[in-house]
Structure 1
């Protein structure tokens, strides 16, 4: 299969997921009420992992076709090593920021909220666990997951490029084992994002990227005549209403049958509960059907968001650093709504400025023609 150019809608939704992740990581942030997690079972994490798989297979699949699988594998492993080094450095920076912020905020214990108490109580073991990707304070979970997923990509990329359905089937089998198989974390815990479960979403993203490269006859039936599309929309509406009902527990208890609640809850994020997975897949399908690849990507907001998506690693790391700083600013400001909105918007703006600077720097580094 020949892999062609990138779909800029992927950059846009990846950048949007980074904004949502940043907003969701700021406690008591009013703008977090606008993120996707409030309107269904899945959240921005699913978007990020799926599109990470999509982008990785497009990029390294193209390298494999041009330079061979060995070169592609080496570049994947080199990228994973860079991410590992970034993870170690980012954790050190995050701890420094949180300890600094905690010394200036009297109303809350930010060290405890960020999960850094383990480092204070057992620093030597915490440093060892950090090197082994077992010490992951709040905000740090996605990066170790991505490292592990990249490490597995050279093993599946050759077959994925030729027989994607077999890789998806094997990945689904691993997903079914997720409830009984997870990686160890600090103090006898397990990873918040179970790689055995989330690898399935990463592989689905890669398979979707390859499927999108195939030449297909356009669908002529209107969307409202397509059974799969209607089913996805109905599921999104029902789960959206249910998610909204969580804000009013009495209403939720009144409309939720006891037997259904026992079956449905808890909706595990760690093991990527099937209802979460199905919600994301329905959302991705409806968006792919309804959002065209057209001129809307040229408006100012879309261009900034696409740029953030293209530099997702750098922007994500900056968001991890900015979230506790925004939390500190809000606490010092008395947790007023105006301050909370200002800090959330300012943080997203700083992330956009970083992406613009990286894009400008990249263009400067390109040789003149």
Structure 2
């Protein structure tokens, strides 16, 4: 879990934790959220008034950061695993999408197969899936992957949110939005459970941090059998869903115990 620094130097580790320099394994997203949310009050007013200007500035920073080595420092002369200077673009694009969604726009009534943007996004998602699947068989991947494309594609940085990663997320989001228009699908039981987990994302995330190494241990003891991996994944998802359900139930109980306002009692 990367706790050696905490065990050997607890006081320094606490200081580093407060300064967001020390992050145990699997906890890297939390400091990223803290930094991005801390900057939200500064960015949001400009995003609402000058959306595309903010997106353009964010994109420029995103492109410059890997070239100039912009990142925040971590312990042992390291840097943040999720570079907030680059990942901020995804945050800004999400805000811009929310602003754009609230504006009236014409509806494209053409079939999906005749919408060039959808076709391109779907093709990109499928191609990315094929490439990712081919990583399981390196000899097959190396046999059909052109060297020129390989040189352009790799390495796919997660730290700096490689453009191919960003484009894959945007393409997947666009394809999903096109295939599932409207909000009716969010009323389904499975979608409601996912939303419930999102409402208690911090608690669910912390439980996932605990469950992940346990699942790795069980999988290793079972020889990383595919069936065991499926079982541990489903069991972990079920436990996190159960936690969210329990937290939601407790929240409803707390609301039921709250006394009614004076005006409601006298009405």
TM-score where L is the length of structure 1: 0.64
Tell me which structure has the larger Cα radius of gyration: 2
Rounded to whole Å, the distance in 2 between the matches of 1:242 and 1:334 is 26
Rounded to whole Å, the distance in 1 between the matches of 2:128 and 2:24 is 30
Shift, 1:267, TM fit: 0.6
Rounded to whole Å, the distance in 2 between the matches of 1:222 and 1:338 is 39
Shift, 1:190, TM fit: 0.4
Shift, 1:121, TM fit: 4.4
Which aligned pairs between 1:1-369 and structure 2 lie closer than 5 A?
Answer: 114-179=1-66, 180-330=69-219, 339-366=228-255
Rounded to whole Å, the distance in 2 between the matches of 1:327 and 1:267 is 24
Query: 1:245-279 CA distances to partner (integer Å, 9 max, x unpaired)?
Result: 11111111111122221221101010011111111
The residue number in structure 2 matching 1:56 is none
Rounded to whole Å, the distance in 1 between the matches of 2:163 and 2:227 is 38
Query: 1:120-170 CA distances to partner (integer Å, 9 max, x unpaired)?
Result: 444443332122111112110000000000011011111111221111111
Of stretches 138-147 and 239-248 in structure 1, the one that deviates more from structure 2 is 239-248
Of stretches 205-214 and 355-364 in structure 1, the one that deviates more from structure 2 is 355-364
Query: 1:23-81 CA distances to partner (integer Å, 9 max, x unpaired)?
Result: xxxxxxxxxxxxxxxxxxxxxxxxxxxxxxxxxxxxxxxxxxxxxxxxxxxxxxxxxxx
Q: Is the 8 A contact 1:141 1:193 kept in 2?
A: yes
How many residue pairs are counted as aligned between the two chains?
256
Q: Which runs of 5+ in 1 are unaligned?
A: 1-113
Shift, 1:194, TM fit: 0.2
Q: Which runs of 5+ in 2 are unaligned?
A: none
Tell me the secondary structure at the aligned position of residue 76 of structure 2: helix
Rounded to whole Å, the distance in 2 between the matches of 1:357 and 1:275 is 38
Shift, 1:362, TM fit: 2.5
Q: Is the 8 A contact 1:330 1:336 kept in 2?
A: yes
Higher RCO (Cα < 8 Å, 6 or more apart): 1
Shift, 1:360, TM fit: 2.0
Rounded to whole Å, the distance in 1 between the matches of 2:8 and 2:254 is 46
Query: 1:300-321 CA distances to partner (integer Å, 9 max, x unpaired)?
Result: 3222222112222221122112
Rounded to whole Å, the distance in 2 between the matches of 1:178 and 1:301 is 39
Change (3 A) 1:275 1:333: closer
Rounded to whole Å, the distance in 2 between the matches of 1:155 and 1:307 is 29
Change (3 A) 1:238 1:212: same
Tell me the secondary structure at the aligned position of residue 177 of structure 1: helix
Tell me the secondary structure at the aligned position of residue 211 of structure 1: helix
CA RMSD of aligned residues (A): 2.2
